[in-house]
């Protein structure tokens, strides 16, 4: 059996909005929207991978808040796990430094205005649990 590799995705929340990121590569994913993040490295804690990826990809200083229950299959051998996250005080605003060519802050009522990667849709839907990303907040 093939080992699963965890990809951590950040539901970065700020002022009741979620940060969505448009992938610029590889070609089969480019133009679709995702949760910023990436692969957990060997021996790395997923929460540490999340903080590292957000620094590399967006130039921000962020912290994980809570695991979003669930795990979503990506292209094998990858699986997606999601944490809500927030910017630490004094962090720079997110910039599309790596892997992305556009960022957008979405309120819950605008969540479906971007074409998410198909495999991300169930994870994004899970964010609408009232305790995580309340619609109407």
Ligand X SMILES: Nc1nc2c([nH]c(=O)n2[C@H]2C[C@H](O)[C@@H](COP(=O)(O)OP(=O)(O)OP(=O)(O)O)O2)c(=O)[nH]1
Binding positions for ligand X, rule: CB under 6 A: 7, 9, 29, 34-35, 37-39, 53, 74-75, 78, 80, 99, 117, 119-120
DSSP conformational letter for 67 = E
CB of 116 to ligand X, least distance (A): 8
Between 29 and 126, whose beta carbon lies closer to ligand X? 29
| 3-class state of residue 31 by DSSP | coil
DSSP conformational letter for 22 = E
Q: Which residue(s) pair with 62 in the sheet?
A: 87
CB of 126 to ligand X, least distance (A): 12
CB of 35 to ligand X, least distance (A): 4
Between 75 and 136, whose beta carbon lies closer to ligand X? 75
Between 11 and 87, whose beta carbon lies closer to ligand X? 11
CB of 130 to ligand X, least distance (A): 22
Least Cα distance to 135 among 105, 110, 103 occurs for 110
Between 99 and 111, whose beta carbon lies closer to ligand X? 99
DSSP strand pairing (78-87 vs 5-14): parallel
Task: Evaluate whether 21 touches 96 at the Cβ level (below 8 Å).
Answer: yes
| Residue in the shown chain whose Cβ atom is closest to ligand X | 38
Least Cα distance to 137 among 32, 24, 14 occurs for 14
């Amino acid at each position: 059996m093939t080992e699963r590799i965890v990809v951590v995705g950040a539901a970065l929340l700020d002022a009741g909005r979620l940060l969505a990121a448009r992938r610029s590569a590889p070609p089969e994913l480019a133009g679709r929207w995702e949760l910023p993040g990436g692969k957990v490295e060997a021996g790395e804690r997923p929460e540490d991978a999340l903080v590292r990826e957000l620094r590399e990809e967006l130039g921000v200083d962020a912290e994980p808040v809570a695991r979003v229950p669930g795990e979503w299959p990506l292209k094998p051998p990858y699986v997606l796990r999601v944490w809500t996250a927030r910017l630490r005080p004094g962090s720079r605003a997110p910039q599309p430094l790596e892997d992305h060519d556009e960022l957008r802050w979405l309120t819950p009522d605008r969540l479906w205005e971007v074409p998410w990667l198909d495999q991300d849709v169930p994870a994004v839907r899970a964010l609408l649990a009232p305790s995580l990303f309340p619609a109407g907040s």
